[in-house]
């Protein structure tokens, strides 16, 4: 059993505790077999991956960015699920072309092997009932009052300890997760009795059984603020939805992404408070640049120290929809210029930590890497990173070694929409000296759920990932090694 220690933040939102998850019904969308990539040279690799002069950001940028994001998951006006999926052509900017990825036969039946009664470890406990939430909130508030802590702002504690399950430490990484109101995943979770109804048992066992588990939290938790004007797709979730992270087995999240600011500064600040109140560590955004760029440390009882850093490098237009944090303004850790990012990696390395960098980068809906992904991977390798995990493209991208540093450029969607997509988890095993081994675990997102790949699907996905990754060899069990001599 894993155990976290450290000072838990005193401030707990009574409003968050009082929110009860409503039970909604409705039919799920039928997923398509085919993925599409959109756009012409506006997002080609090279310097022109930045928006050209005169490009109309507000009318076109978001359509291209999100055609494979929530499209097909939008709920009809009035919040009624089951509306017909919009035609993909309505969202295309430029010519529609088939993506490189070839989908296999669609299997609409999500695995029926669900376990809604799996035992939770102590540190994986959910919020429980609304009544329990209120009690916990009151007890925490009373404790804060007794201690004389009346601060208006509580920064999430960035040094954690935990009990490792062996002499090594295993960390599971997943891609994009979305629990926004009015989108298919939330309805699917509610219709199917919670997370165990949409994430199958083999995947949940991996996530809950790892020493640590990390995903990309691609939305704010807020009931206030307003959606950003001009941004076509904006997400926001109720505070109570944060409990789904614990249900999945998640121990920390990246919030360095281009949706965490969808409801502006109010939405971001609410999110920070919500995660802190839930004792859910985060990286990649904050109330100022110091917080946003701050490294999160986890130290095991056997002396393995892990450092987590997360940066966001998307939205090339100025000003971007997603604000970068400054000395005085809340925002994400924006790393288009990566000097501070690399400085944080060097600082963490000097503490003796194994350094993991979780990057929000690249171009959506294509397997092609852009020049910033390749350039920044080299910079992070030179700075001392031990592992680089990428997301944002909403599809899988290749695996490589940059110098001695392993990189997966994109894990794609994990539990994000109703589309049928190849996805997966990364399982990384660490010793004190660094990364010992890592493997890719194939999965399928389909019908607003995610499940482990069948043996046939697993072989196909691994073969596909191998085709994207000429410098590595991926075994039939997903174990990854370099084909190029290292060191």
Note the pLDDT of residue 301. 94
Note the pLDDT of residue 151. 34
Rounded to an integer, the average pLDDT of 91-95 is 26
Rounded to an integer, the average pLDDT of 242-248 is 98
pLDDT at 101 over 60: no
Give residue-wise pLDDT tens across range 64-75.
Answer: 333 333 333 433
Note the pLDDT of residue 55. 32
pLDDT at 100 over 90: no
Best CA proximity match to 410, nearest among 380, 350, 369: 369
Q: Is 341 left (phi over 0), alpha (psi -120 to 50) or beta?
A: alpha
pLDDT at 332 over 70: yes
Give residue-wise pLDDT tens across range 397-429.
Answer: 999 999 999 999 999 999 999 999 999 999 999
Report the share of the chain in percent with pLDDT over 90: 63
Rounded to an integer, the average pLDDT of 424-445 is 97
Note the pLDDT of residue 137. 37
- List the domains of the chain with CATH numbers: 120-482 (3.60.21.10)
Note the pLDDT of residue 485. 67
* 14, 261, 268, 417 from 271: Cα distances, Å: 14, 9, 5, 21
Please name the residues in contact with 199: beta carbons below 8 A apart, sequence gap of 6 or more.
Answer: 207, 248, 415, 449, 450, 451
Give residue-wise pLDDT tens across range 26-37.
Answer: 333 323 332 323
Instruction: Give per-residue burial for 142-151: e unless 16+ CB within 10 Å, then b.
Output: eebeeeeeee
Note the pLDDT of residue 487. 53
Please name the residues in contact with 292: beta carbons below 8 A apart, sequence gap of 6 or more.
Answer: 256, 284, 285, 286, 324, 325, 330, 331, 332, 333
The structure's pTM equals 0.72
Look at strands 421-431 and 169-177 and give their pairing.
antiparallel
pLDDT at 342 over 50: yes
Best CA proximity match to 295, nearest among 383, 164, 410, 363: 383
Look at strands 354-360 and 387-391 and give their pairing.
parallel
Best CA proximity match to 209, nearest among 257, 239, 172, 235: 172
- Asked if residues 253 and 174 have their Cβ atoms less than 8 Å apart, the reply is no
For residue 101, which phi and psi values (nearest 5 degrees)?
Answer: -70, 135
pLDDT at 40 over 60: no
Radius of gyration from C-alpha coordinates of the chain: 21
Best CA proximity match to 237, nearest among 358, 72, 61, 416: 416
Indicate the pLDDT class of residue 225, thresholds 50, 70 and 90: confident
Give residue-wise pLDDT tens across range 142-197.
Answer: 343 333 333 333 333 689 999 998 899 999 999 999 999 999 999 999 999 999 99
pLDDT at 444 over 80: yes
DSSP class of residue 324 equals B
Indicate the pLDDT class of residue 483, thresholds 50, 70 and 90: confident
For the chain, give the mean pLDDT.
Answer: 76
Note the pLDDT of residue 96. 24
CA distance 109 to 376: 40
pLDDT at 90 over 90: no
pLDDT at 45 over 50: no
Residue 23: Cβ-neighbour burial (10 angstroms; 0-12, 13-18, 19+): exposed
Best CA proximity match to 292, nearest among 312, 277, 264: 312
CA distance 304 to 321: 38
CA distance 307 to 159: 9
Q: Please, how many CA atoms are within 13 Å of residue 273, restricted to the half-sphere of its CB?
A: 21
Note the pLDDT of residue 446. 98
Note the pLDDT of residue 94. 27
pLDDT at 245 over 90: yes
The residue with greater pLDDT, 32 or 318, is 318
Rounded to an integer, the average pLDDT of 266-291 is 98
Note the pLDDT of residue 71. 36
pLDDT at 3 over 60: no
Indicate the pLDDT class of residue 119, thresholds 50, 70 and 90: very low
């Amino acid at each position: 059993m894993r155990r976290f220690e450290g000072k838990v933040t005193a401030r707990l939102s009574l409003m968050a505790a009082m929110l009860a998850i409503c039970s909604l019904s409705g039919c799920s969308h039928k997923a398509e077999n085919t993925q599409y990539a959109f756009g012409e040279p506006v997002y080609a690799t090279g310097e022109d991956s930045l928006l050209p002069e005169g490009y109309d950001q507000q009318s076109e940028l978001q359509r291209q960015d999100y055609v494979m994001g929530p499209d097909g998951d939008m709920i009809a006006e009035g919040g009624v699920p089951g509306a017909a999926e919009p035609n993909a052509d309505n969202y295309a900017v430029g010519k529609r072309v088939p993506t490189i990825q070839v989908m296999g036969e669609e299997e609409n039946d999500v695995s029926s092997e669900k376990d809604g009664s799996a035992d939770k470890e102590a540190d994986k406990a959910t919020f429980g009932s609304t009544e329990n939430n209120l009690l916990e909130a009151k007890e925490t508030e009373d404790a804060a009052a007794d201690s004389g802590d009346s601060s208006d702002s509580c920064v999430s504690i960035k040094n954690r300890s935990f009990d490792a399950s062996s002499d090594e430490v295993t960390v599971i990484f997943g891609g994009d997760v979305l629990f926004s109101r009015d989108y298919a995943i939330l309805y699917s979770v509610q219709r199917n009795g919670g997370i165990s109804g949409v994430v199958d048992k083999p995947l949940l066992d991996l996530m809950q059984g790892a020493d640590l588990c990390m995903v990309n939290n691609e939305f704010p938790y807020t009931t206030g603020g307003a959606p950003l004007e001009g941004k076509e797709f904006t997400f926001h979730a109720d505070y109570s939805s944060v409990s789904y992270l614990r249900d999945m087995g998640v121990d920390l999240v990246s919030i360095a992404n281009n949706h965490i600011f969808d409801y502006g500064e109010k939405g971001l600040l609410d999110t920070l408070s919500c995660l802190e109140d839930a004792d859910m560590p985060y990286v990649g955004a904050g109330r100022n640049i110091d917080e946003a760029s701050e490294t999160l440390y986890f130290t095991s009882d056997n002396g393995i120290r892990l450092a987590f850093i997360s940066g966001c490098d998307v939205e090339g237009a100025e000003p971007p929809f997603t604000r970068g944090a400054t000395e005085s303004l809340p925002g994400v850790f924006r790393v288009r210029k990566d000097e501070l990012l690399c400085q944080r990696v060097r600082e963490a390395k000097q503490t003796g930590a194994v350094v993991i960098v979780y990057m929000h980068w690249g171009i959506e809906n294509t397997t092609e890497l852009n020049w910033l992904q390749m350039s920044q991977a080299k910079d992070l390798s030179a700075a001392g990173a031990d592992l680089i995990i990428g997301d944002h493209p909403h599809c899988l991208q290749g695996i490589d070694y940059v110098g001695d540093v392993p990189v997966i450029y994109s894990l794609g969607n994990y539990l994000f929409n109703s589309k049928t997509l190849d996805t997966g988890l990364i399982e990384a095993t660490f010793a004190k000296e660094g990364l010992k081994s890592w493997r890719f675990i194939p999965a399928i997102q389909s019908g607003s759920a995610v499940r482990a790949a069948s043996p046939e699907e697993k072989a196909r996905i691994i073969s596909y990932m191998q085709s994207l990754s000429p410098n590595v060899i991926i075994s039939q069990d997903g174990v990854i090694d370099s084909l190029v001599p290292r060191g």
